[in-house]
Amino acid sequence: MGRKRTCELPFCQGAVEGTRNKRRCDNDRNIHLHQVISKNVKKIMRYIENHEDFTANDVNRDLFKNRLDKNEKGSMYRLFQAMVREGYLTERGKREGLKVYAYAGRPADSATPAVPPASAAPAPVAPVVHEPPPLSPREILLGKLREFVYMKNGSWNHDDWMWLINRPDIREFGMADADIGLMLEEEKARFWARKQ
């Protein structure tokens, strides 16, 4: 058993054991960050602290110019989940089928500076009372298709298409494959237009 040290992720208060993977700590033994994410954790934290709320797509677009591949996007999602676990972020529901996060404040003993002493110990967060109107089934399906386009980075093959239309959560809407295909192509066009 190696020496203990604090986790190198600035928002995390856990102790690291051993030397096999410096990003693993006793709070989360399974976190693995791709290099592009691990090198930019502080940059991502600055982005988070300066935005009221955001999705993974917002961070990818604003900080990485939509260049992250699906594995790196997954790595960023794992980073956000670790931040939620540490109380650095809170989840604020969904927007366009993607999770919305908000900065919750820095943990009390964080190594990163710049929180006034009065708010060093995070106050209990009151539940958000604002409840958006319920989404229509079409909006829910559109969110799922938008997420598929995002995860496939705007291009997919026939097997991906078959997998999508046979998913139970897509089938439950009772739409014809052709209608789903039209909606998917519109989302694909929107995705590529944003990348221009």
Q: What is the pLDDT of residues 96-152, one digit of tens each?
A: 888 889 988 754 444 444 444 444 556 676 666 666 678 788 888 888 899 999 889
- The type of residue at 78 is R
Q: What are the residue ranges spanned by the domains of the chain?
A: 4-119, 137-195
Alpha helices in 102-176 (DSSP H): 137-151, 158-165, 168-171
Collapsing DSSP states into helix, strand and coil, what is residue 98? Answer: strand
- Cβ(160)–Cβ(149) below 8 Å: no
Tell me the pLDDT band of 5, cut-offs 50, 70 and 90: low
Tell me the pLDDT band of 16, cut-offs 50, 70 and 90: low
Rounded (5°) CA angle 105-107-112: 90
d(CA 139, CA 14): 40
Supply the pLDDT for residue 10.
76
Supply the pLDDT for residue 35.
80
Supply the pLDDT for residue 111.
43
pLDDT in tens, 17-75: 655 545 556 566 556 677 888 788 888 888 888 888 888 888 888 888 888 888 888 88
Query: For residue 188, is pLDDT > 60?
Result: yes
Which DSSP helix (H) or strand (E) runs through 188? helix 177-195
d(CA 19, CA 109): 23
4-119: what CATH class? mainly alpha
Structure tokens at 98: 């993607």
Which DSSP helix (H) or strand (E) runs through 126? none
Counting beta carbons within 10 angstroms of the beta carbon of residue 136, is it exposed (0 to 12), middle (13 to 18) or buried (19 or more)?
exposed
